[in-house]
Structure 1
Amino acid sequence: MAELDTSGGGKHKGGKVRSKKASTRVDLTAMVDLAFLLITFFILTTTLQKPKAMDLTMPDKDDNHNQLPVPETRTMTVLLGKDNKLEWYMGLPQKPLTPPSVTNFGKAGIRESLIEQGKNVLAKSGKEMIVLIKPSDKSTYSDMVSMMDELNIVGNQQRAIVDISPMEVDLLKRDNIY
């Protein structure tokens, strides 16, 4: 509790007789309560930053027998390497339909390749291209998120995250991005 004292001081003998002033007392308890109520109200009503999450639909581990064969002409494999670099090819790693190409993320990088190869696959087969993403031990989580963002930008819905094979790791080592 706060108190404000405006008394005139002690009594002096002699001099003029003054009227006695009553001391003024201000109780600030209600104002403190109001301040805490307002702070509590604004804390509870503000919108906290919502976590950003990416939706991934993963198949059941027990559901391996229902997989359909995928033609290699519709499959683009993207190998994620170090230093925000990646390598992509069409087809199988043993006999790729296009030679492996090292590129980076962005409009002039993998996005251009995704658009071009997606149009080629759509023209030849009439179906959407399937993209296999294979992160290596040297790639980062942000590389994976960037790749998923690139696929969202070009509108590719057929994608899978797959384990990288030793042959593909050797391919990354050959091109100095592992």
Structure 2
Amino acid sequence: MAELDTSGGGGKKGGKVRSKKQSTRVDLTAMVDLAFLLVTFFMLTTTLNKPKAMDLAMPDKDDKNTQEPIAASRTMTVLLGSGNKLEWFVGEPGKTPPTVGDYSKGDKGIRKVLIDQSQRVKSTTGKTMFVIVKPSEKSVYKNVVDVLDELHITDNMAFAIVDISPVEIDLLKRDNLF
């Protein structure tokens, strides 16, 4: 693989004996082949990130099964507004004043609210809380995903994503979230 250049350094001039200068040249073809083999090996043997997706069960459009009503005392409604803010209330709109919150993990964050309200509903009714998520026109897709993630983290699996009503839009407008 290595070659030595033994060409002379010129003709014979004078009576001095000079040593020949030898230059070395290394052939890197084998090294490049090995590098590409290693890159190919590691590309084929590594696993790529698998997408993480949450399963959503959607009802059939032609399904005529009627659901039994859920008591308003165990229903929490989350209204998604603009500016990464939200409003929530337990019960019916207009009868219970909404509380403004955000997506943080603090005291006004949706995670603490979901945990507290779920425990309160469980202790008063003995049943699980049902959460209704209502995104507005001014909310972004990330807000819906954040709420669904928080529902999954807090283990609230009874929820629905529903269209927002005009009464609830008025609540958001009143608090400058629409």
TM interval, shorter chain, is 0.7 to 0.9
Separation of aligned partners in 1, 2:68 and 2:4: 85
State the distance in 1 between where 2:47 and 2:40 align: 14
Partner of 2:77: 77
The equivalences for 1:21-32 within 5 A come to: 26-32=26-32
TM-score norm. by structure 2 comes to: 0.80
Q: Which residue does 2:163 correspond to in 1?
A: 163
Identity of aligned residues (%): 65
More strand by share: 2
Q: Which moved more, 1:56-65 or 1:36-45?
A: 56-65
Distance 1:111 1:127 in 2: 19
**Whole-Å separation in 1 of the counterparts to 2:17 and 2:140:** 88
Output one character per residue of 1:126-175: Cα deviation in whole Å (capped at 9) or x when no partner: 11000000011111222122212222232211111111112211110111
Aligned to 1:136: 136
Stretches of 4+ aligned residues off by more than 6 angstroms? 16-25
Paired with 1:36 and 1:62, the residues of 2 have a C-alpha distance of 56
For residues 148 and 14 of structure 1, do their structure 2 counterparts lie closer, same or farther at Cα, with a shift above 3 Å needed? same
Contact 1:6 1:24 in 2 (8 A): no
Give the corresponding residue for 1:154.
154
Unaligned runs of 5+ in 1: none
Change (3 A) 1:140 1:64: farther
1:102 corresponds to which residue?
100
**Change beyond 3 A, Cα 1:165–1:12:** same
Greater mean alpha carbon deviation, residues 158-167 or residues 47-56: 47-56
Listed as ranges, the matches of 1:23-42 within 5 Å are 26-42=26-42
Local SS of the residue matching 2:5: coil
Q: CA-to-partner distance for each residue in 1:95-138, whole Å, 9 max, x for gaps? A: 53x32111122231233332232223212321100000001111
2:79–2:87 contact (8 Å) kept in structure 1:
yes
Q: TM-score, normalised by structure 1?
A: 0.80
Q: Is the 8 A contact 1:86 1:177 kept in 2?
A: yes
Query: Counterpart of 1:170 in structure 2: which amino acid?
Result: D
Distance 2:22 2:84 in 1: 78
Q: Is the 8 A contact 1:4 1:26 kept in 2?
A: no
Q: In the alignment, what sits opposite 2:127?
A: 127
- The change in CA–CA distance for 1:23 and 1:146 in structure 2 (over 3 A counts) is closer
Flag structure 2 segments of 5+ consecutive residues without an equivalent: none
Alpha-carbon distance in 2 for matches of 1:6, 1:49: 55
User: Pairwise mapping of residues 54-93 of structure 1 onto structure 2 (< 5 A)?
Assistant: 54-93=54-93
Q: Indicate how the Cα distance of structure 1 residues 112 and 30 shifts in structure 2: closer, same or farther if over 3 A, else same.
A: closer
Asked whether the 8 Å contact 2:4–2:22 carries over to 1, the reply is no
Aligned equivalents of 1:85, 1:128: Cα separation in 2: 25
